[in-house]
Amino acid sequence: MSSPIIQFEELALSPPLLQTLKDVGYEAPSPIQAACIPHLLAGHDLIGQAQTGTGKTAAFALPLLERLDLTDRQPQVLVLTPTRELAIQVAEAFQSYARHLPGFHVLPIYGGQSMSLQLRHLRRGVHVVVGTPGRIMDHLRRETLTLDGLRSVVLDEADEMLRMGFIEDVDWILERTPPERQIALFSATMPEPIRRVAHRHLREPREVKIQTRTATVATVRQRYCQVGVQHKLDALTRVLEVEDTDAVLIFVRTKIAATELAERLEARGYPSAALHGDMTQALREKTIEQLRGGGLDIVVATDVAARGLDVLRISHVINYDIPSDTEAYIHRIGRTGRAGRGGEAILFVVPREMRMLRVIEKATRQPITPMQPPSQATIAGHRLNRFKQKILDTLAAQELSFFQEVVGQIEQEQDISAGDIAAALAYLMQRDRPLQLPVEADVKPVHPKLADEARDRAEPDDRPSRRRERPREPVDFEVMRYRLDVGHQHGATPQNIVGAIANEAGIESRYIGRIEIHDDYSTVDLPAGMPEEIFQHLKKVRVRQYPLNISRLGPSEPERARKRPVPGRAEAGEKTPRSARTSPVEGEAKTASRRQREIKS
């Protein structure tokens, strides 16, 4: 019997793909990835039976990227998905994994998206097409999508396509693919119609079935907190402040994140240690022993490093990063509530991750209760109660006669009351963790509209959105203009840009100012003083599969100064006139040149 695969290096992936996995800090393949990647690399057809949220996208994306010929700009991989949301998600995954493959192009195709945009990208050439069956059929009938060079087909969530009535469309599409192509079919269940499709189109398929646990520990209370990505650290420290914790295990996705978060918690006064796969066994065992013995209360860990971790005093598991699969979530929260004890599991979710939250709830068959980040008033109340209790405990357990004499001497020498002396001592004692906190520093909850949109996106839907913009009141603020590396040719819309910035930077929509979309770039006005951490994060955020690569252009006038009754976004679908498609600097240069010509004439 062969030993289990525990590292991506054992899967015969090329250096560019391994470098990508190293960049994002992935440590080891999930069970379905370890089982499927070798079969797909070898060119076999495959039937994979696994629940949504088990990491199957990487299970087919990585080996199919490995087999691409990047010099051939015709579709070589076709992925069929039941919903437009999943099509976008899968396309983003391909783009992410291919970051070190120069010239790679992937195109999501689904109903409700501009057909002309899709045609333009298809004419330029793409390697991977990800789409819903209906829109793929439209292109095949129009002969705007050719499958002559197709090497591989993936049927993702086949049982969901059956439920939505797409299975006959899938059959029709497969009949128009080359006979020698490879097919990978993934489904949570295997009803008879799907088996018939597999029997008709797959050739001697290898079968992989991943059994997932659906039971979580009954004694663990599960909650989730929806916050913007830039507020996660603040929300975490607030939770640590008010929760009645013993030992806390915090989970992140990558080794880099584990080290960075432990350092940032340490800087905020929460002694912490990282636990990840790059640590020596001796150091790992030392950290676990400190946690077990009470010498350490907070550990930030990755999934691989926490395998087999059994420490009874872990009262809280906090999923700082949502796990990539449901099995990982179940394993994580199983680290608390052990030996019949109660436990707490808290999950941080940014708006775009709401779909994964619903997947976890479905897999575990248990609801996860929403919670709000603790307010400053709540934190101040908890600090005051602990402060009072510490004084009472000291009075009950310590011999204080010497200190009473000291207080008495100050009373007599300075003519100060014992109450005033006690107040001064209390002030000195609480300076590091003040009992009075400014109320304006509260973590802002996710904007209600964004939360509603996130919940809407969590439900499968292949229909175009008809949500309309609400007019907003103008506000005065110091404005900075930013350049984004996405424009009309990338399919960017004002809604895309607002959604990306609001979701990823946590900037309320009323503070997102004027947006101008040009051919190959856009500009947006945002409040000045954006923290560097958020600025660097936004550089990597994608719109229509393209990174924003945000950069600063310079100060811009406030919204009121422009005399615009409704500041903010351009109207949906509105294109900037050709004459206006210049940066502010270019516009000023052209104006000066025009004035000089007028003077000369």
Residue 449's pLDDT is what? 41
- Average pLDDT (517-532) is 85
For 31, 32, 43, 187, 547, the CA distances from 209, given in Å and listed in that order, are 10, 8, 19, 10, 36
Residue 24's pLDDT is what? 67
Q: How many helices and strands in the chain, by DSSP H and E? A: 21, 20
What one-character-per-residue DSSP string does 453-508 give? HHHHHHS---SPP-PPPPP-------EEEEEES--GGGT--HHHHHHHHHHHH---
Residue 458's pLDDT is what? 45
According to DSSP, the residues that pair with 47 across neighbouring strands are 185, 207
Q: Determine if the pTM surpasses 0.95.
A: no
Say which amino acid occupies 289: E
Residue 471 has pLDDT above 60, yes or no: no
- Average pLDDT (482-508) is 82
Residue 235's pLDDT is what? 92
Residue 424 has pLDDT above 50, yes or no: yes
- Average pLDDT (555-562) is 47
- Average pLDDT (29-57) is 87
Residue 580 has pLDDT above 70, yes or no: no
Say which amino acid occupies 137: M
Residue 465's pLDDT is what? 37
Sheet holding 515-517, edge to edge: 515-517, 522-527, 479-484, 551-556
- Average pLDDT (470-490) is 70
pLDDT band at 5 (very low <50, low <70, confident <90, very high): low
Better-predicted residue by pLDDT, 390 or 150:
150
With 0-12 / 13-18 / 19 or more C-beta atoms within 10 angstroms meaning exposed / middle / buried, residue 115 is middle
C-beta atoms surrounding 148 within 10 Å: 8
pLDDT band at 126 (very low <50, low <70, confident <90, very high): very high
pLDDT band at 112 (very low <50, low <70, confident <90, very high): confident
Better-predicted residue by pLDDT, 556 or 539:
539
Q: Map tokens 């449901």 to a residue.
A: 326
pLDDT band at 274 (very low <50, low <70, confident <90, very high): very high
For 329, 404, 412, 428, 488, the CA distances from 416, given in Å and listed in that order, are 59, 14, 7, 17, 74
C-beta atoms surrounding 431 within 10 Å: 8
Cα(380)–Cα(375) distance, rounded to whole angstroms? 9
Domain at 220-375: CATH architecture = 3-Layer(aba) Sandwich (3.40)
Residue 481 has pLDDT above 60, yes or no: yes
Could you tell me the residue ranges of all domains in the chain? Answer: 8-209, 220-375, 377-440, 469-591
The string of pLDDT tens digits covering residues 349-383 is 988 888 889 888 887 888 899 998 888 788 778 77
Residue 139, C-beta contacts closer than 8 angstroms, at least 6 positions apart? 109, 118, 122, 145
Mean of pLDDT over the chain: 80
- Average pLDDT (269-274) is 92
Residue 440 has pLDDT above 60, yes or no: no
- Average pLDDT (380-392) is 82
Residue 534 has pLDDT above 90, yes or no: no
Tell which residue, 2, 11, 46, has the closest CA to residue 30.
11
Residue 308's pLDDT is what? 65
Residue 298's pLDDT is what? 96
Residue 156 has pLDDT above 70, yes or no: yes
Q: Please tell me the chain's helix, strand, coil percentages from 3-state DSSP, rounded to the nearest 5.
A: 45, 15, 40
Report strand pairing: 298-301 vs 314-319: unpaired
Which CATH number, 3.40.50.620, 3.40.120.10, 3.30.70.330, 3.40.50.720, labels domain 469-591?
3.30.70.330
- Average pLDDT (388-396) is 87
Cα(107)–Cα(88) distance, rounded to whole angstroms? 9
The string of pLDDT tens digits covering residues 10-27 is 888 999 999 988 876 676
Lowest mean pLDDT among 109-123, 455-469, 501-515: 455-469
For 433, 460, 487, the CA distances from 467, given in Å and listed in that order, are 45, 16, 22
**Strand, helix or coil at 221?**
strand
Residue 563's pLDDT is what? 34
Better-predicted residue by pLDDT, 214 or 302:
302
Residue 6's pLDDT is what? 66
Categorise residue 339: left if φ over 0, alpha if ψ from -120 to 50, beta otherwise: left
Tokens of 186: 């993934």
Q: CB pairs under 8 A, 24+ apart, for 218-221?
A: 218/337, 219/337, 219/340, 219/341, 219/342, 219/343, 220/317, 220/333, 220/334, 220/336, 220/337, 220/342, 220/343, 220/344, 220/345, 221/342, 221/343, 221/344, 221/345, 221/369
Equal CATH topology for 220-375 and 469-591: no
- Of all residues in the chain, the percent with pLDDT exceeding 90 is 35
Q: What are phi and psi of 359, to 5 degrees?
A: -60, -45
The string of pLDDT tens digits covering residues 331-349 is 889 888 876 678 999 999 9
Lowest mean pLDDT among 466-480, 532-546, 572-586: 572-586
Q: Are 89 and 457 in contact (CB under 8 A)?
A: no
Say which amino acid occupies 357: L
Domain at 8-209: CATH architecture = 3-Layer(aba) Sandwich (3.40)
The string of pLDDT tens digits covering residues 51-68 is 665 678 899 999 999 999
Sheet holding 106-109, edge to edge: 106-109, 128-131, 77-80, 152-155, 182-187, 46-49, 206-209
Helix (H) or strand (E) holding 186: strand 182-187
Lowest mean pLDDT among 150-164, 521-535, 546-560, 570-584: 570-584
